[in-house]
Amino acid sequence: MEAQVTWTPLQKPTVSLSWMLGSPNLRQVRKFMFDRFDRDIHYLRISVTNRCNLRCSYCVPDDFVEPAGHCHDELDVATIEKVARAAADIGINKVRLTGGEPLVRRDIVDIVQKIGAVPGITELGITTNAIFMPRYAAGLRKGGLRSCNISLDTLDPELYHKLSRNGRLEDALSGIEAAEQQGFAIKINMVVFNETSDKEIQLMNEYCLDHGFQLQLINHYDLHQHKMDNYTFSRPPKCLECNRIRLLADGSLKPCLHSNDEIALDPDDIRGSLERTVMAKPRIGQACTNRSLFEIGG
């Protein structure tokens, strides 16, 4: 039995996977969108907010002061759903919700439900500090969320409070437990600093092994500095392996994390906006000096 192949503009072939699954009742379609450097772009990170209940030292600048009366311009649920549908139409099959902290949005379950119902989106995850997870875990699971990347840089309560500037480790661990009870695939994101000891990494690895979590070590990096790929760590991603684009909470599309380039989301041509973003991806990232990490979601 042969794969069925069709061509679509600006894209590589669309391949039916029903032949792999062995049943026409399980028919799935995977489209492909490649950038100028032949990288398969199939991953969309959506920052649903730049608000956060923590102020982690590596994420929020020391001198950041939110203006009095500042209004957070965030995409509404309907627009996010339209973007997800357009993204699936050009070959995106993986979506991750980020922030800020995505769980500060009271409509986060509605957002997940809308994206989870989009044909073609086969992977839906979230990156969170987990503190509000006890409130939302059940609804997120029912809505179609399947994986959680949880930021946890240390198991030391004092160090956690220092790094987050106001957080309590016990709240994060309670949130992780709530996510675990719902059966999410859990990955712990641990940012590694120059001063992080091997003992801290070992303790985190043991914690993850005990709970069946995956541990992802993230090299501490500065967006404003020239990007250097570090092959000791899996994150940030290597430029030549990059497979993603980003939608920010204010409607800006970023082709590259380490770049100042942005494309405004055109509500009348969402698909075109996404395609232009893919084609604007540079071969190698340099530096992003016009945004802070909390605005992009990593």
The answer to whether residues 215 and 150 touch, using CB atoms and an 8 Å cutoff, is no
Give 7 or 247, the one with higher predicted confidence: 247
Rounded to 5 degrees, what are φ and ψ at 72?
Answer: -80, 115
Q: What is the DSSP string of 229-248?
A: --TTSSBSPPGGG--EEEE-
**pLDDT given for residue 4 in this prediction:** 42
pLDDT at residue 19, rounded to an integer: 35
Q: What is the pLDDT of residue 277?
A: 97
Output the pLDDT for position 7. Answer: 37
Q: What is the domain extent for residue 26? A: 1-32
Place of tokens 């404003």: 224
Say if residue 24 is in the same domain as residue 45. no
Do 84 and 180 lie in one domain? The reply is yes
Same-domain status, 19 and 41? no
CB 119 within 8 A of CB 90: no
Residue with tokens 């106001």: 166
What mean pLDDT comes out for the span 234-257?
Answer: 88
Indicate whether 19 and 95 sit together in one domain: no
| Structural domains counted in the chain | 2
Q: Mean pLDDT over all residues of the chain?
A: 85
Whether the pLDDT of residue 160 is over 50: the answer is yes
Residue 287: its pLDDT value, please? 72
Residues 152 and 180 in one domain: yes
**What type of residue is 19?**
W
Which pLDDT band, with edges at 50, 70 and 90, does 57 fall under? confident
Q: What is the pLDDT of residues 177-235, one digit of tens each?
A: 999 999 999 999 999 998 999 999 999 999 999 999 999 998 876 655 555 555 556 66
Judge if 143 and 189 occupy the same domain. Answer: yes
Query: Which range, 28-32, 62-66, 242-246, is most confident?
Result: 242-246
pLDDT score of 17: 42
pLDDT bucket at 18, cuts 50 / 70 / 90:
very low
pLDDT in tens, 131-157: 999 999 999 999 999 999 999 999 999
What global pTM score does this model have?
0.85
Query: Is residue 229 a contact partner of residue 290, using CB atoms and an 8 Å limit?
Result: no
Q: For the segment 69-108, what is each residue's pLDDT rounded down to a tens digit?
A: 444 689 999 999 999 999 999 999 999 999 999 999 999 9
- Whether residue 127 sits in one domain with residue 3: no
Q: Does residue 186 sit in the same domain as residue 44?
A: yes
Q: Note the pLDDT of residue 259.
A: 85
Check whether residue 188 and residue 141 sit in a common domain.
Answer: yes
Do 2 and 48 reside in the same domain of the chain? no
Co-location of 92 and 177 in the same domain: yes
H helices of 117-253, where? 133-143, 157-164, 169-181, 198-211
pLDDT band at 59 (very low <50, low <70, confident <90, very high): confident
**Do 48 and 25 share a domain, yes or no?**
no
Question: What integer is the mean pLDDT of 96-124?
Answer: 98
CATH number for the domain that contains residue 249: 3.20.20.70
